[in-house]
Structure 1
Amino acid sequence: MKHLAVSVLALILAAPALAAAPQDQVPPRTLTVTGTGIAKAAPDEASFSTGVVSQGPTAGAALAANTKAMNAVIATLKRQGVPDKAIQTSNLSLNPQYQACKPNMACPQKIVGYEVANTVTVTIGLDKAGAALDALVASGANRVDGIGFAIHDEKPLLAEARAEAVKEAIAKAEAYAKSAGVSLGPILSIQEGGVSAPQPINMAMGYRLKAAAVPLEGGEEKLAATVSITWEIK
């Protein structure tokens, strides 16, 4: 009984200390800063849509003419070294063509023919794109749309942008800490805010292109990355 009484007394004395322990844990003061990094490089890849628009007196005739012309276009692309995986059909349409009416005069809608449009989206090395466009027009392509430029392997550029984002976040944090009269402690968390790249330039070159030298200037591509870092401050 004596030992039991001592044990109960010890628990009673320890209870206030145990209850007070969580209250003594003050959350650390923190500083969260966001940094943005931008990396630049010249594009090495071009993409565009190309194809043929054909007309005929009947749907069958228009489709047959278009099929023949598109086969020549695709064969030309392959001769230019474009692999099958870089050629994808993006549009195929068949539409009736109606008799034109004189201005301000009503006339019955009469089908006078049909139009077939077939286009493919092509990805090719930028250094080969100009010559490919010349060859396509010569082989019968009369539609080119959506010229865009990209970097084939973005991983090295993205790694550079991320590193720059972290450097900027650290520089900001050091400046804020110095101004506030505190010091940076350990990093508590790092979160990526995302990456972004410019959208392709959409440039409709339209129908009835003439075979001529096609100069393409890729300019410069930019990749941006953001990161948020939280430090404990002392």
Structure 2
Amino acid sequence: MNRKLAAAALTGIVLLSTVGLGSAALLGSAQAGNQSSTVTVSATGTVTAEPDRAVVDLAATAEADNATAATERLAEDAATLRDALDDENLSVESVATTSYSVFQRVDNGTTTYVARQSFAVTTTDTSEAGAVVDTAVANGAAEIDGVAFTVSDERRQDLRADAIDAAVDDARVQAEAVADSTGLALGEVRSVSTGDGSGFLVERAADAGTTVEPSPVSVSATVEITYNASAD
């Protein structure tokens, strides 16, 4: 006579090496019958690292009594800004336009055309984030929207691999606990799937003349693993 083994759920929080904490929300299920039993768990691994990029979000604006004049002035200001940021001491990797707009502002019946261009300025020297802010403000930037610390794409992939390793280790521990609690012996891995890794950019506000201290960033990954299992 077949037996149905009750599903067991377990949630665990574990220390994932010395670089960060990972939390695992687990769903363990044991299925008995004519088919072999399985245990399925999901786990999340998280690692942290020092950033190797700082991204300064800023914007330049220009005003005129017609749209053409406003855009021409903005183009001049943007060129001045880019030239100033092209300084080897700032280690600027890229200056990318993130938005561009032209709009009307009406004050007491007078129409003014405002052109606005926002940029993401990336430096490979995180200690120069404050200097990038100062240089931008001194050369036409009208707005500083913040500073974010992050890692390069290559470094992010390395960190994600470490996070997956941590998640897999945690999944095994949790699967063994689920199997033990349901009277099963854990076998080999039957299937594995991974979720999208996530990276967390640490934001810091910045004023001209201030030093912006880098902060660690975190990268996480999730796995879902199904193990074969058999009755003890």
Tell me the TM-score normalised to structure 1 length. 0.73
Q: RMSD in angstroms over aligned alpha carbons?
A: 2.4
Q: Counterparts of 2:117 and 2:75 in 1: how far apart (Å)?
A: 8
- The corresponding residue for 1:139 is 139
The share of aligned pairs that are identical, in percent, is 28
Match of 2:200, SS state, is coil
Instruction: Tell me the amino acid that sits aligned with residue 172 of structure 2.
Output: I
Q: Is the 8 A contact 2:92 2:123 kept in 1?
A: yes
How far off its partner does 1:120 sit? 1.9
Match of 2:58 in 1: 50
The secondary structure found in structure 2 opposite 1:223 is: strand
Range with greater deviation from structure 2 (26-35 or 114-123): 114-123
Residue in 2 that maps onto 1:174: 176
Q: Distance in 2 between matches of 1:194 and 1:116?
A: 38
User: Which amino acid in 2 is paired with 1:75?
Assistant: D
* Match among 60, 80, 84 for residue 72 of structure 1: 80
Q: Which has the larger radius of gyration?
A: 1
**Take 1:164 and 1:136, find their aligned partners in 2: how far apart are those partners?**
41
Structure with bigger strand share is 2
Q: 1: CA distance between counterparts of 2:116 and 2:216?
A: 33
Structure with the higher helix share, 1 or 2: 1
* 1:112 Cα deviation from its structure 2 partner: 4.1
- Segments of structure 2 that go 5 or more residues without pairing to the other structure are 1-32
Name the CA shift for 1:64/1:228 in 2 (closer, same or farther; >3 Å): closer
1:221 is matched with which residue? 217
Q: CA deviation at 1:160?
A: 1.1
Larger RCO: 1 or 2 (CA < 8 Å, sep 6+): 1
Shift, 1:77, TM fit = 1.5
- Tell me what 2:115 maps to: 116
Q: Count the aligned residue pairs.
A: 193
What are the superposed Cα offsets for residues 177-221 of structure 1, whole Å, 9 maximum, x if unpaired? 222232112221111133222356486x7xxx7xx4232233221
The amino acid across from 2:211 in the alignment is P
Q: Aligned letter for 1:111? A: T
Tell me the amino acid that sits aligned with residue 67 of structure 1: A
Q: Tell me how far apart the structure 1 counterparts of residues 190 and 69 of structure 2 sit (CA, whole Å).
A: 70
State the TM-score, normalized to the length of structure 2. Answer: 0.73
Residue 17 of structure 2 corresponds to which residue in structure 1? none
**AA matched with 2:134:** D
TM-aligned CA distance change 1:172 to 1:132, over 3 Å: same
1:149–1:200 CA contact under 8 A, matched in 2: yes
Distance 1:50 1:61 in 2: 22
Name the residue aligned to 2:167: 165
Q: Which moved more, 1:56-65 or 1:127-136?
A: 56-65
Q: Distance in 2 between matches of 1:191 and 1:97?
A: 53
